[in-house]
Amino acid sequence: MAKGRIVVNEDLCKGCELCISVCPPGVIKMAADRFTPQGYHPAELVDPDEECTGCAICSIICPDAAITVFRWVPADKIKSTAP
């Protein structure tokens, strides 16, 4: 299965939890230990078993475009690489 990861931009995340509600493997959690500059608990990837597939459903529902999604793909099918 494909592997992926997400990066949450904590300047933009408002902790609405919509990404958590749609994540198929359920690997997004709220970070209860810190606040964003706007004063919300941000979402973060908690994925010890590497279950994230990079499906990007969280980024589709995120109202603040705060989630960047990466996925491991075969080198010959690449469109744009991670910076």
Q: Which residues bind other proteins (CB under 8 A)?
A: 4, 9, 11-12, 14-18, 21-22, 38, 40, 54, 56-57, 59-76, 78-83
- Mapping DSSP to helix (H, G, I), strand (E, B) and coil, where does residue 11 land? coil
d(CA 81, CA 77): 11
Provide the minimum distance between the beta carbon of 14 and other proteins in the complex, in angstroms, as a whole number: 4
Dist CA 72 CA 54 (whole Å): 8
Kindly state the smallest distance separating residue 17's Cβ from other proteins, in Å.
6
Instruction: Give me the least distance between CB of 26 and other proteins, in Å please.
Output: 14
Note whether 9 and 62 are within 8 A (CB): no
Closer residue to other proteins, CB minimum distance, 33 or 78: 78
